[in-house]
Structure 1
Amino acid sequence: ISCRCENVQSCDEKTCRNYGVCVNRTCACNVGRSGIFCEKEITVQVPKFSRGGYMMVKKGGDKRRALREISVKEIYVNFTTVRPNALILWSQKNHNFIGIGLENGFLKLVYSMEDGNKTVIERPPFPPINDGLWHSILVMFYPISMVIDGKHFTQEFARYPNVTTSGIFYIGNTPTLNSSLIEETHGMFADPFEGCIQMFGSNSEFVDDFSKIDGRNIESC
């Protein structure tokens, strides 16, 4: 009797290289590293998200700066995916948050108002965008409106929403070690993003080269 078995290597606390971390017997590698034990060096300009990977963008691009609460005026993201359900980005400060993702292939925008006492969920009437093509999303507040692939959608409120966060934006997933993604996002998103993100921006500050951005389990598109 012969057995054709795949020898799957697993990690422990000592085997992950280049500051990788062993999570569930698999090495979670920092941006710029890949391989079973994070032994390979890669260049990530346009990131590819899989295996629960995420990136962390701080407003202003300064990793060392202590961030206070900021007011979110606009968010832009350019991405491609074939997954119907996914978290694209998430930012939070105490009870205030904002999130963008997909639900059954349709765009879903969520944010809190009145210090977290009111949650707003927006689903603009636009066809599914999990078709593997590149799509651009621009969300603007004061007043709130969305531009999806050049098509405008506007929502009227009695007063303009004041959306504030910490200024830290998690792209694709959140670093959930002791809780699930759905818990971290207050039940709004359950699945991490799988696909590629070409550009991200907030308040007119844009990132199109992700090679110096912090994150885990990121490949190159």
Structure 2
Amino acid sequence: MTITRMNWETGTWLNSPLSAKIEGSFLKVSPEIGKDFWKKTLYGFEHEDGPALLTDWNNNTAVEVSFQLGSFTELYDQAGILLYHSSGQWIKTGIEINDGIPQLSVVVTDGYSDWSLAPVPDWAGEEVTLRASIMKDAVIIRARTEHHGWRTVRVARFPYVSGNQAGPYTCSPTRAGFEVIFTRWSFTEPDQDLHVDPPIEK
């Protein structure tokens, strides 16, 4: 399996966070309160000002981001992967606190955003890995922890063949003081089949 582990210095911030510091192999990021990614649907507002550390994403690779959940305690605390094509065409996926528990969250945006949630209360406090892999005109989004195997979260339309970027993001739109610890950012081999789990990086 071919794996390219990214150095945190390699990416470029789409919107800088309140703070970001490298400690050993980890990246600790504090987002600014009130910043987020959302377009129009239901709420009417538009946000594309959350911090995301991005680099070019070749559609022939899968992107994975890992982070720790210990600091996720308040409504809308969130982190994961941003898949970015352009303003108005992007997907954010990760863990988000909603209804008092961790939820697998995906926001798919093409001019307007939609939002899906799946509760994972037994993942609280663990290290989570999100994965996105292109197949034909869609992206397959999966997630796991060190104690729970791969779970397919969503298949969403993502037809853009070039000009894509991907990397870790975090937001905390309603409270100050949130910090997320990212532990890994990798590009690896893409999914071969929707119903076959990808390998786990050792």
* TM-score scaled by length of structure 1: 0.46
Structure number having the greater strand percentage? 2
The structure that has the greater radius of gyration is 1
